[in-house]
Structure 1
């Protein structure tokens, strides 16, 4: 349910469970982590979903075990450590634990209809360990509290204004590919070096 496509120095990973709103199981998280690690030689990585929702977060059938699973942090850490340019091309709503993988990317672009929420306070669980700091770095502490403690739901326009995403596009994958073009054309060693100083 994780589809991998590679063209030259670009890897596109797609969450491919549209009938379940790309809700993530433990097996999918493991496969996604491994796919990200396998793409470390690529100059650019795009993460997207199939269908109208990027991801609804954890599969409700696995919620009791996934709510505190270290797999979420393993996935986001693998993305954050990727030596190339990483972009989340959000084809729809981003919810719950799936927020961490988007926060770990270098950039985020989303469709106009996307919605954003991370309702940990309603579930009585902590967010993934790295998510609050990444969210604060992007949006500031007050907006991070709005999302995590206020259980706010943001539109794409709000997410753009608040700094959670960087662009709104009708075709976020095409927009992400445009952003990746220069990195994919450059020497991979240079791309790694440039990212290291950023």
Structure 2
């Protein structure tokens, strides 16, 4: 299997394991990914989903170009492939768990889209990023163009999309394509797992509302804010603060 899910305590790792093809995604992988995302979402013990390559090296070189070329005249296959990609990107961007892409090498095209759909991106200095449809006569999906634009702004998004050029990790950090450069993601993972799962879950929903266009509180957001003061995580967090210890949050 070119994709698999492994768990380590409260962290799930979605591993891309097709190193001989630079972790390029084919149809089987796009179709398998929603089931793995759902498996992670259904576990009440998990606090975080990390998407990464199974082996150090390329994160994902994008779509399997050989497969796309072989199927270019098969209208039914192309429609099915587009639907599979769109489903993965939509569900990953709205996953129940906070999500982190850890990128150690090339992160290109559809692979960059997968990273964009995660909540946070950590890259090593060896990482390179590019979105290359303009070099192939293709068009990047609108959903993923929005993910890119939300991160880097319209000017940088156009530069990246119009040229198809690769950019290094330092530049990706400078323009906001990644949030952190590090040789591993352990420190950030530890901090996220230690935080209140209720706070992260509701904050993620609030951020998604903002990205989808909401700018003012409504009845639901006001309720979530108010009810947090009566929740178990607030009691534990404030008690730990007063006792000068680390909080021990539940599920």
Specify if TM > 0.5: yes
Cα separation, 1, equivalents of 2:56 and 2:165: 24
Aligned counterpart for 2:110 among listed residues 97, 105, 110: 97
Higher helix share: 2
Name which one, 1 or 2, has greater alpha-carbon Rg: 2
Would you say 1:47 and 2:47 are equivalent positions?
no
Would you say 1:159 and 2:159 are equivalent positions?
no
Cα separation, 2, equivalents of 1:163 and 1:182: 21
* CA deviation profile, 1:39-60 (whole Å, cap 9, x unmatched): 1143210000123111111112
Partner of 1:113: 126
Cα separation, 2, equivalents of 1:184 and 1:167: 17
* CA deviation profile, 1:69-116 (whole Å, cap 9, x unmatched): 222221111111112211000121101111111101111011111111
Partner of 2:248: none
Would you say 1:181 and 2:186 are equivalent positions?
no
TM-score (norm 1): 0.89
Q: 1:162 to 1:186 in 2, by over 3 A?
A: closer
Cα separation, 1, equivalents of 2:50 and 2:125: 19
Higher strand share: 1
Partner of 1:15: 16
Partner of 2:39: 38
Answer whether contact 1:92 1:115 (CA < 8 A) is retained.
Answer: yes
TM-score (norm 2): 0.71
Query: Which portions of structure 1, spanning 4 or more consecutive aligned residues, are displaced by more than 3 angstroms?
Result: 64-68, 185-191
Answer whether contact 1:72 1:100 (CA < 8 A) is retained.
Answer: no
SS in 1 for 2:100: strand
Greater CA drift, 27-36 or 67-76: 67-76
SS in 1 for 2:142: coil
Give the count of matched residue pairs: 194
Q: 1:184 to 1:62 in 2, by over 3 A?
A: same
1:26 CA drift (Å): 0.7
1:181 CA drift (Å): 2.4
Cα separation, 2, equivalents of 1:186 and 1:55: 29
Structure 1: 5+ residue runs without aligned partners? none
Answer whether contact 1:72 1:128 (CA < 8 A) is retained.
Answer: no
Question: Which structure is richer in relative contact order (CA contacts within 8 A, separation 6 or more)?
Answer: 1
1:122 CA drift (Å): 1.7
Partner of 1:84: 97
Q: 1:183 to 1:120 in 2, by over 3 A?
A: same
Partner of 2:183: 170
SS in 1 for 2:82: coil
